[in-house]
Structure 1
Amino acid sequence: SHGSNTQPYPHARQFPCPKPDCGRGFRRLEHLKRHVRTHTHERPFLCPVCFKKFSRSDNLAQHRRTHER
């Protein structure tokens, strides 16, 4: 046995979502920050070509490829 005072995943869900009744938690702070934008509807990443906004930088990067020829 590993002992009764140890948690099997000590870093699991270290960063809980602050929104009441959400219940989500994340191991990384940046993932929590990304998740919180689903509640705030914040879209800070702007396409410089068509001005469409995105909540995630990776989604913007994927979108920007649609403007390439």
Structure 2
Amino acid sequence: MNFFKIKTSWSNAEFILIKLCMASAYLFIGSYFHDFFAAYYNVLFVVFGFTVVWFVYQWLKKMKQPN
């Protein structure tokens, strides 16, 4: 299976999801070391979970579409 050779077209708006997902993961990991962000664990986890599910859904949808 040529999984890494499959090409899809993404709009800039669709990249917002992966950027939010990565940003919330970075903040979640970074907040483990700093007490400043400790109050935002729940919010960061919700944002991360929501964006991961949404991004994976859109990714799978794009993979099933013919080019």
Q: So what's the TM-score if we normalise by structure 1?
A: 0.26
> Which is richer in strand?
1
Larger helix share, 1 or 2: 2
Structure showing greater Rg: 1
Point out which structure has higher relative CO (alpha carbons under 8 A, 6+ apart): 2
